[in-house]
Amino acid sequence: MCRIHVGIDDTDSPQGMCTTYVSCVIIQKLKSCGFSLEGYPRLIRLNPFAPHKTRGNGAVAFTVLAASSGELEVIRDLVLREVEGLAELENENTNPGVVFHTGEITHEMRDFSLRAIRSILKIDDARRVAEKAGAEVHGFKKGRGIIGALAAIGCPLDDRTYELLTYRVPENYGRPRRIDPDSVRRMDEITGDETFDNIDGDYLAIEPHTPCPILYGIRGESPEVLMKAMELVEVGEEIERFCIFETNQHTDQHIQEADRISEMEAFGCYRVSGRVRDTPRVIEGGHVFFTLADDSGEIECAAYEPTKDFRRVVLELVPGDVLTVYGGIGRHGTLNIEKMKLERAAELYVEENPLCTCGRRMKSAGRDKGFKCPSCGRRVRNSRKVKRVLERSLVEGYYEVPTCARRHLSKQLVRMGIRGCGVNKKPQHS
């Protein structure tokens, strides 16, 4: 038995199609030709800041079991024909790539994959690694998709989740999706210990908001729970097909540990610790910013408007708070927060005049003249202002953005076995 790895990427455009759908069609055709797959197909999310991504920067790989490597020819013909037929080739930014690999997954391929998740690569980087590993690459037009295709094959999945995707019949593409929200709520209640990010208030997180072929996608810890969840979701339209993918979604595979703020680079995603340097501020559009600093430098951190209530948490930070932030550095050098841990809350206090023995608060008796009680007239010469510690509305612990703002790769606190904190609504200054 011979294992033939197939990687596919960059087949879609904002107007339609989806690499997962193209892969599903191909897999079904391969199966009807008598081939079988090893395990589940893999949906691998790559760097969320890749400049040419259409949406979620996903690429697909699967492993075909063939009687001999001679069958590669049949598989190659079928895969390339389908990619050519289904990809949105007329779109300028759609540059499909397909990779076939019959050997072992090399150390360089794994390394390349992690680099595609954590940094920005060039097509030539992919060509070089593929050539050294003996992988066969096929690029359509500019062939940029070979970056994602090779990365999807090489991605190590120590931690993994699953996603079940259902697809619409083509005549419904672009039409409003008919998914019963109550059934999604019920599904979430029943399976919510093992599925995640299904619904957020009235926002149906399982529903895409683009004209792509996907009707909905449910994410969870196992294929079994996803099958159960699918049975619970009621829809008012035909489902053409469905497929379960093994994924690196919600594993934090994009996050690198940064020991110092100065070592972080644009388009990288990091976990980094520092001290809050200034009071968080809101700018037009409702975005919230503050500066995080350590001995090596500082970085502007942001909770953008789509992170909704998470911004209220960020607004409660005060200078001196010690924080660990997880997030990615965008084009403008700002770190977009995905989650954070308040490691040590700074003491928040006000300085007040002392209380008199009669119970009234004293007044200043003039510069360097101490205090005087307005009620009983008592004077104290040397007394200093007293510090009154204010209760903080943030407790030390973890906070994360809501479901509607979550990145594909971002690991939910619940998956980390951590209970997140909520913000106490009491005003900060009493």
Q: Which residues bind ligand ATP (CB under 6 A)?
A: 9-10, 12, 18-19, 46-47, 50, 52-58, 95, 97, 116, 120-121, 144-145, 147-148
| Nearest-approach distance from CB 315 to ligand ATP, in angstroms | 32
- Annotate 110-160 with DSSP letters as a single string: HHHHHHHHHS---HHHHHHHHHHHT-EEEESTT-THHHHHHHHHH---SS-
How far is CA 201 from its chain centroid? 19
Task: Measure the N-to-C terminal CA separation of the chain; round to a whole number of Å.
Answer: 72
- Distance between CA 371 and CA 385 in Å, rounded? 9
| Nearest-approach distance from CB 347 to ligand ATP, in angstroms | 43
| Nearest-approach distance from CB 151 to ligand ATP, in angstroms | 7
Residue placing its CB nearer to ligand ATP in the complex, 275 or 407: 407
Closest C-alpha to 26, from 6, 56, 55, 54 = 6
| Nearest-approach distance from CB 141 to ligand ATP, in angstroms | 10
Residue placing its CB nearer to ligand ATP in the complex, 13 or 334: 13
Q: Helix 107-118 crosses helix 145-154 at what angle (to 10 degrees)?
A: 120
Helix (H/G/I), strand (E/B), else coil: 371: strand
| Nearest-approach distance from CB 325 to ligand ATP, in angstroms | 22
Pairing status of strand 297-303 against strand 335-344 = parallel
Residue placing its CB nearer to ligand ATP in the complex, 95 or 273: 95
Closest C-alpha to 422, from 280, 316, 288, 282 = 316
Residue placing its CB nearer to ligand ATP in the complex, 40 or 289: 40
Residue placing its CB nearer to ligand ATP in the complex, 165 or 276: 165
| Nearest-approach distance from CB 196 to ligand ATP, in angstroms | 19
Residue placing its CB nearer to ligand ATP in the complex, 94 or 393: 94
Pinpoint the alpha helices (H) of 275-379. 310-315
| Nearest-approach distance from CB 30 to ligand ATP, in angstroms | 20
| Nearest-approach distance from CB 413 to ligand ATP, in angstroms | 25
Paired tokens of 106:
């090399």
By the 10 Å C-beta count (0-12 exposed, 13-18 middle, 19+ buried), 259 is classed as exposed
Helix (H/G/I), strand (E/B), else coil: 395: coil
Residue placing its CB nearer to ligand ATP in the complex, 60 or 301: 60
Q: Are 108 and 132 in contact (CB under 8 A)?
A: yes
Residue placing its CB nearer to ligand ATP in the complex, 46 or 133: 46
Helix (H/G/I), strand (E/B), else coil: 340: strand
